Chain A
């Protein structure tokens, strides 16, 4: 069983800048000096502190540390060589997994973490064996492509959505709900069972739970999920 809801923890984490749904930005002709931390870009529009930066000679794991001017940002790691290329700025990575038919746990806004999907007893910090399984479905679900948050109708609201096709082919699987979660490292883990990586940072935090209104089963076929209109009335994840 599941209840459609934004995870309560995500609501508080939004105030901590823990989730960034921005769309990916690629800026051609970005430049930087070997061994330095600054990048000169054509525009900083849409770039946020914390976004990952990647491109030739941009250090692996570099993130935006500060926005310095309309055309300059500083990243967290020194460039490994002269930067003169397209640099891509990437926000958080989200995924969508499916909950099986007849789960042992009720999934709702109290779900904080997906934990280790497919493994372990289902709890608020672990979807565990309540994740769907079957031919054509890979544990952990599908990667989502951020389409960026928008201010929308009604004018006092904002909503986020994802632009890629959410679809399984040749699939035999039964599901009752979907869980959207953030696979990026943005927050230190507390000691309440939240899945952490080697550095002790929380990963796989739940953004939202989406009930399907009953069991949806597909046999050797095609299962497509379509996101509602990205607005303040029907948007997948929204603030009114």
Chain B
């Protein structure tokens, strides 16, 4: 029944931080884990972080490009169109990394890959929402804590009002 909590001060979650969240979701190392298995788990986490960081960068770039091209109208576009295009590739790369790890046999069941897909999809969606929310509510674009005021923002625009009202 516990929520996970991810916090970043003075800006957005960085691509690396989001990647760490995915890796932590997939490779759940017990607090008391030790020995070779814990080391192998950390190695797999690091591989997943390396894989996912690039996908979060691509989500950020797509969101920034959309805002630059369409301004506030970008808020009404389907965010899934951005991250769904990356999902299959990201999951395949993670599953390949797992297959090369000592934990390959732990992930052979169908529901294991489904879990990976759900986690990756959830965090790509969170990332997309985060970029749009910072733009809609605060008129800011950029990555991590390197945020800038966007000249494409218009607080009177219906797209912005709808976005804020939806919450």
Q: With an 8 A cutoff between CB atoms, is A225 at the interface?
A: yes
Closest B residue by C-beta to A220 = B10
| Chain A: number of interface residues, binned into ranges | 35 or more
Q: Give Cα A5 to B1, complex, Å.
A: 8
Q: Output the least CB separation between B148 and chain A (Å).
A: 14
CA distance A216 to B3 in the complex (A): 12
Nearest A residue to B136 via CB reads A169
In the complex, which of the residues B9, B10, B126 contacts A167, with contact meaning CB atoms closer than 8 Å? Answer: B126
Once bound together, how far apart are the Cα atoms of A217 and B130, in whole Å?
18
B103 CB within 8 Å of chain A:
no
Task: Give the Cβ gap from B167 to chain A, nearest Cβ, in Å.
Answer: 5
Say if the beta carbon of A56 comes within 8 Å of chain B.
no
Closest chain A CB from B9 CB (angstroms): 4
The answer to whether the Cβ of A222 comes within 8 Å of any Cβ in the partner chain is yes
Task: Decide: B13 and A226 in contact? CB cutoff 8 A.
Answer: no
A134 to B4, CA, bound (A): 21
Q: How far is the CA of A50 from the CA of B167 in the complex (A)?
A: 24
A-B contact count (CB 8 A): 100
Chain A residue with Cβ nearest B140 = A170
Q: Does B33 contact A (CB under 8 A)?
A: no
Interface secondary structure of A, over-half rule? strand
Give the residue among B3, B6, B115, B125 with the most A Cβ atoms within 10 A.
B3
Tell whether, in the assembled complex, residue A169 and residue B4 are in contact, meaning their CB atoms are under 8 Å apart: no
Chain B contacts of A216 at CB under 8 A?
A: 5, 7
Q: Is the CB of B11 within 8 A of A221?
A: yes
B3 touches A178 (CB 8 A): yes
Residues of B within 8 A of A5 (CB): 1
**27 contacts across the A-B interface (CB closer than 8 A):** A4-B1, A4-B2, A153-B111, A165-B125, A166-B3, A167-B129, A169-B130, A170-B138, A170-B140, A211-B2, A218-B8, A221-B8, A221-B10, A223-B7, A224-B6, A224-B13, A224-B126, A226-B3, A226-B5, A226-B21, A226-B123, A226-B126, A227-B3, A228-B2, A228-B4, A229-B118, A236-B1
